[in-house]
Chains A and B, each alone.
Chain A
Amino acid sequence: MGAGQAAASLVAKLRALGFDGQLTVIGEEPSTPYQRPPLSKKYLLGELTADRLALRPDTFYRENRIDLLLGTTVTALDTTARTLVAGKRTLHFDLLALTTGARPRELPVAIRGSLDGVHTIRTRADVDGLAPEFAHGRDLLVVGGGYIGLEAAAVAAARGLRVNVVESAPRILARVASAETAAYFRELHCSFGVLLHEGVAVRQLCGDSRVCSAVLSSGVELAVDFVIAGVGALPCTELAETAGIRCDNGIAVDARGRTSAERVWAAGDCTSFPWRGSRIRLECVQNAIEQAECVAADMVGQTASYDPTPWFWSDQYDRKLQIAGINTGYDQVITRRTSARSQSFWYLRAGALCAVDAIDEPRSYLIGRQLLQARVSPDPTLLCDTTFDLKNLLTHRVPAPAR
């Protein structure tokens, strides 16, 4: 149930593992499963056409006997009878996977009223509706300084729009990255003329039927032609909750992707799962793919525990941010500065490596990822020594750093 990245990976893995039964994928959107990352990058820029977003060609589903019910909403789910209502049809299932994803948080009605010109970015249709707004010289207000907001700001600035980004936390990327990483991107966006308002909230969007200005908590009033809100995503759990499936910051699954209901699994953006002593929800392609494949394996009896080393990327302007691990609870950040553009920030918690943010420094990202996978923690003094080749950390031969 759900036809995004997790669904596509799940059904492909099921067939690859020899599952021979009937397979049906139900999705609300009219398209076959497609890539979301390009929506706020190349697709928004107009560099990628819609037909190139598809995760798999139509022939893939035909050749693998995967039935697609697209443009169809599931309105009821009964995990005891093992039925669901999709459109006008009642379907029976033996095994069910919930891959319902997440939906963007909307700006509160008190702030946005019912004004036109206020957008979120989650689906292809969202971005198709945005494209006419992107004209040179227009004023864009981005609410939220997370990845979606900053990627949209980068695209807009590159297209000659005037961009203001408003972030209510003390700094951009506050929820996900360190002050060091935020400083890098602050400088980058400012160099392209984007105006950042950090520690500031939008008090009111104003206009007749369309937004034309915004009043900020700092008292500043901005001219606005349109708004993109990137203020977080909420897991789609309504149907699961109504069906009595346990939810806890997402549909709660165990390390095998099983929900509290028998014969029902879940994977991807809609789930929360146990990870190293806590329960987390990840919004990334890596999790959608790997958790879905874990569910597929469990469904055919090839059970393994899902214990990922999460990874993530964000493209802004010509810079590539690559992240490995989760930095929650970090108490130390080591900076490795290869050049003005190529830098990495290594997060430690009680002396142990827990994440890496690498910008235009793929070597650091890849080595950091391997160290995290191996649960190996490097000597912090070697991390900031740019004369030391980090690859030596992998082979456990650690020569004295060059002086």
Chain B
Amino acid sequence: MREESATEIGVRRDVIPAIELDHVSKHFDGVKAVDDLSLAVAPGRIFGLLGPNGAGKTSTIRMMLGIMIPDSGAVRMFGAPLGRRSLGQAGYLPEERGLYAKMTARENLVFFGQLCGLDAAGARRKAEAWTERLGIEQRLDDKVEELSKGMQQKIQFIATVIHDPAFIVMDEPFTGLDPINVNQLKSVLSDLRAKGRAIVFSTHRTDQIEQLCDSICLMNHGRSVLQGSVREIRSGYGTHFVEIEYDGGGSFLDGNPLIDSYDRHADYVEVRLKAGADAQALLRSALVCSRIRRFEIKEATIEQIFIDLMSRRDGDG
């Protein structure tokens, strides 16, 4: 898989990207946190930023939002350099949640709404509408410290979108939420995408990336390792994975020159083929000693690609 340039990842040339990083680098004390990174996110798309701890995701996000200034390269929001006006269109949900614990949820939301350009009355109205939508309107006048972690998370989410930003950055937005609330917020994110908002979504959870994101950037050691649309990446990664359900001995698995590795599950085995190996040849060898009930050639999941790439890079290193 080749690395793609910023203009190729789902952003048409005639569309002004919501956010665009152009050969951006940032270093601290000689360590490169972000190294020559380029990416672009179009309006109406959810963009996943994926990478292990220390990959440079947070620094990238901070530079997207003007919290940090890059050492080199350019950051543009809706085609303009970052400034007060362009940043007014941004909403940010940081990984570490930040609300004033001694203030009520309403006071927090009105304060952050006002900082993002709303007047007090408008911020109050929006706070009420959003809390009603997320089903926590009855807790609006409770102090944040009195709310459950999940509710605090929802208040934080509302603080991010209260001013209806066109560009939204969410760093691990579902941490601490139960599955019902996760689904509720996913539905809100999908609505925002449908309304044309550009969303950058940073997470370790590859399943969430697959469910929500249109395109991704996989980062490691400050560099972009892989970029593109989720669909293209999965289909272009090669059909290296096969799921097999069989009766009888599994002797075809051991010492098979076609197989790189395999994992046994309860009623099937997941096989990773060696590069260039033919799945049909594996099927033939399996039929020799076993009765095959299911033989499914699968696209690699984002998780598999992630692990594969990371282990390969670490092996190279």
A and B associate in one complex:
no
Q: Contact residues of A with B, CB < 8 Å?
A: none
